[in-house]
Structure 1
Amino acid sequence: MPTPDHAAVPPAADRPRYLDPTAPVEARVRDLLSRMTLREKAGQLNQRMYGWNAYRRTPDGGFELTDALYAETDRFEGLGALYGLQRADAWSGVDHGNGPGAGDAAALADLVQRHVVERSRLGIPALFVEEVPHGLMALDGTVLPVNLAVGATWNPELYERAAAHAAAELRARGGHVALVSALDIARDPRWGRTEECFGEDPYLAARLTEAVVRGMQGEPDGAPAGRFAADKAPVVLKHFAGQGATVGGRNSAESELGPRELHEIHLPAARAGIRAGAAAVMAAYNEADGMPCSGNRALLTELLRESWGFEGLVMADGLAVDRLARITGDKVSAGALALNSGVDLSLWDEGFTHLAEAVVRGLVAEEVLDAAVARVLRLKFRLGLFDRQGAPAPPLPARGRELSTALARAAVTLLRNDGTLPIPAAVSRIAVLGPQSATVAHQSGDYTAPRHPGTGTSVLDALRTLAPPGVDIRHAPGCALTGGDLSGVPEAVAAAAASDLAVLVLGGSSARTPDTEFDANGAARTAVSHMTCGEGADLAGLELGRAQYALLAAVAATGTPTAVVLIQGRPHVVPDTAGALLTAWYPGPWGGEAIAEVLLGLTEPVGRLPVSVPRSAAQLPVYYNHKDTEYGGYVDESAEPLYSFGHGLSYTSFEYGPPRPAGHTVEVDITNTGHRHGRSVAQLYLRRLRTPVWPRTLELCGFRAVDLAPGETRTVTFPLGADLPGRGTVVEFRVAESARAALTAVPTQSFTAPDETPL
Structure 2
Amino acid sequence: MTLPRYRDPAAPVPDRVRDLLGRMTLAEKVGQLNQRLYGWDAYERAGDGHRLTDAFRAEVAAFDGMGALYGLQRADAWSGVGFADGLDATDGARTAAAVQRYVTENTRLGIPVLLVEEMPHGHQALDGTVLPVNLAVGATWDPDLYADAVAGAAAELRARGAHIALVSALDLVRDPRWGRSEECFAEDPYLAARMTEALVEGARRAGVAVVLKHFAGQGATIGGRNSAATELGPRELHEVHLAAARAGVAAGAAGVMAAYNEFDGLPCVANRYLLTDLLRTEWGFEGVVMADGTAVDRLVRLTGDPVSAGALALDAGCDLSLWDDSFTRLGEAVERGLVSGAALDAAVARVLTLKFRLGLFEQPLPPAAPQGGGLPDPVELGERIARASVTLLSHEGGVLPLSRSVRRIAVLGPNADSLAQQIGDYTAPQRPGGGITVLAGVRAAVAPGTEVVHGRGCDLAGDDVSDVPAAVALAAGSDVAVLVLGGSSARSPDTVFDANGAAVTGSGPPSGMTCGEGVDLADLALPPAQRALLAAVSATGTPVVVVLVQGRPHALHEVDAPASAVLSAWYPGPLGGRAVAEVLFGDAEPRGRLPVSVPRSAAQLPVYYNGKDHRYRGYVDQSAGPLHAFGHGLSYTSVEYGAPRLSRSRVDVRAPRLLCRVTVRNTGSRRAEETVQLYVRRLSGGTAWPRVRELRGFVRLSIAPGAEADALFEVGADTLASVGRDLGPVVEPGVVELETGPASDRTRGARLEITDSESNVT
Superposition deviation, residue 528 in structure 1: 2.4
Instruction: Please tell me the residue identity of whatever aligns with 1:733.
Output: L
- 3-state SS of the aligned residue for 2:673? strand
Distance in 2, matches of 1:289 and 1:392, equals: 45
- 3-state SS of the aligned residue for 1:352? helix
Distance in 2, matches of 1:282 and 1:425, equals: 49
Distance in 2, matches of 1:434 and 1:329, equals: 51
Distance in 2, matches of 1:281 and 1:177, equals: 11
| Mapping of residues 640-651 of structure 1, within 5 Å | 640-651=625-636
Instruction: Please tell me the residue identity of whatever aligns with 1:48.
Output: R
Matched, 1:133 2:90: no
- 3-state SS of the aligned residue for 2:331? helix
Superposition deviation, residue 389 in structure 1: 3.7
Asked if the contact 1:173/1:393 (under 8 Å) is kept, the reply is: no
Asked if the contact 2:630/2:744 (under 8 Å) is kept, the reply is: yes
| Mapping of residues 64-463 of structure 1, within 5 Å | 64-218=51-205, 231-390=206-365, 392-395=367-370, 399-418=377-396, 419-463=398-442
Q: 1:141 to 1:415 in 2, by over 3 A?
A: same
* Aligned-pair identity (%): 64
Asked if the contact 2:492/2:511 (under 8 Å) is kept, the reply is: no
Distance in 1, matches of 2:364 and 2:300, equals: 39
Superposed CA RMSD: 1.5
Asked if the contact 1:87/1:138 (under 8 Å) is kept, the reply is: yes
Q: 1:390 to 1:242 in 2, by over 3 A?
A: closer
Distance in 1, matches of 2:757 and 2:16, equals: 46
Q: Which moved more, 1:393-402 or 1:125-134?
A: 393-402
Superposition deviation, residue 505 in structure 1: 0.5
Asked if the contact 1:328/1:334 (under 8 Å) is kept, the reply is: yes
Instruction: Please tell me the residue identity of whatever aligns with 2:752.
Output: S
- 3-state SS of the aligned residue for 1:120? coil
- Equivalent of 1:597 in 566, 582, 603: 582
Q: TM-score, normalised by structure 1?
A: 0.95
Unmatched 5+ stretches in structure 1:
1-10, 219-230
Aligned counterpart, 1:558: 540
Distance in 2, matches of 1:83 and 1:366, equals: 26
Superposition deviation, residue 472 in structure 1: 1.4
Unmatched 5+ stretches in structure 2:
648-656, 722-730
Asked if the contact 2:96/2:365 (under 8 Å) is kept, the reply is: no
| Mapping of residues 495-506 of structure 1, within 5 Å | 495-506=474-485
Instruction: Please tell me the residue identity of whatever aligns with 2:362.
Output: D
Distance in 2, matches of 1:405 and 1:522, equals: 28
| Mapping of residues 430-579 of structure 1, within 5 Å | 430-526=409-505, 527-574=509-556, 575=558, 576=560, 577-579=562-564
Aligned counterpart, 1:226: none
Distance in 2, matches of 1:90 and 1:238, equals: 22
State the number of aligned residues: 730
Aligned counterpart, 2:651: none
Asked if the contact 2:495/2:511 (under 8 Å) is kept, the reply is: no
Aligned counterpart, 2:726: none
Cα offsets for 1:669-724 (capped at 9, x unmatched): 11111110021111101000112221001000001110000111111111224332
Structure 1: 4+ residue segments shifted above 4 A: 753-756
- 3-state SS of the aligned residue for 2:512? coil
Distance in 1, matches of 2:732 and 2:367, equals: 55
Asked if the contact 1:431/1:496 (under 8 Å) is kept, the reply is: yes
Q: 1:22 to 1:391 in 2, by over 3 A?
A: farther
Superposition deviation, residue 366 in structure 1: 1.1
Distance in 2, matches of 1:481 and 1:751, equals: 53
Asked if the contact 1:130/1:179 (under 8 Å) is kept, the reply is: yes
Asked if the contact 2:680/2:695 (under 8 Å) is kept, the reply is: yes
Asked if the contact 1:171/1:393 (under 8 Å) is kept, the reply is: no
Cα offsets for 1:624-656 (capped at 9, x unmatched): 001001212222111111000000000011111
Instruction: Please tell me the residue identity of whatever aligns with 1:555.
Output: V
Superposition deviation, residue 525 in structure 1: 0.9
Matched, 1:700 2:695: yes
Distance in 2, matches of 1:259 and 1:451, equals: 43
Distance in 2, matches of 1:200 and 1:395, equals: 36
Asked if the contact 2:180/2:517 (under 8 Å) is kept, the reply is: yes
- 3-state SS of the aligned residue for 2:420? coil
- 3-state SS of the aligned residue for 2:289? strand
Distance in 2, matches of 1:306 and 1:44, equals: 23
Q: Which moved more, 1:645-654 or 1:661-670?
A: 661-670
- 3-state SS of the aligned residue for 2:421? coil
Asked if the contact 1:106/1:393 (under 8 Å) is kept, the reply is: no
Distance in 2, matches of 1:735 and 1:302, equals: 37
Superposition deviation, residue 405 in structure 1: 0.3
Asked if the contact 1:411/1:584 (under 8 Å) is kept, the reply is: yes
Matched, 1:37 2:35: no
Cα offsets for 1:262-283 (capped at 9, x unmatched): 0001000000111111110000
Distance in 2, matches of 1:609 and 1:676, equals: 21
- 3-state SS of the aligned residue for 2:379? helix
Asked if the contact 2:103/2:112 (under 8 Å) is kept, the reply is: yes
Q: Which moved more, 1:692-701 or 1:655-664?
A: 655-664
Distance in 2, matches of 1:161 and 1:302, equals: 34
Distance in 2, matches of 1:501 and 1:88, equals: 40
Superposition deviation, residue 398 in structure 1: 6.7
- Equivalent of 2:607 in 622, 626, 639: 622
Superposition deviation, residue 391 in structure 1: 6.2
Cα offsets for 1:154-174 (capped at 9, x unmatched): 000000001111110110011
Asked if the contact 2:504/2:510 (under 8 Å) is kept, the reply is: no
Matched, 1:652 2:637: yes
Distance in 1, matches of 2:698 and 2:365, equals: 46
Aligned counterpart, 2:36: 48
Cα offsets for 1:470-519 (capped at 9, x unmatched): 21111111111012222221121111111111111011100111111111
Cα offsets for 1:588-611 (capped at 9, x unmatched): 011001000000000000000000
Matched, 1:735 2:737: no
Cα offsets for 1:93-117 (capped at 9, x unmatched): 0000000011211001011111111
Distance in 1, matches of 2:627 and 2:135, equals: 18
Distance in 2, matches of 1:433 and 1:754, equals: 61
Superposition deviation, residue 20 in structure 1: 1.4
- 3-state SS of the aligned residue for 1:517? coil
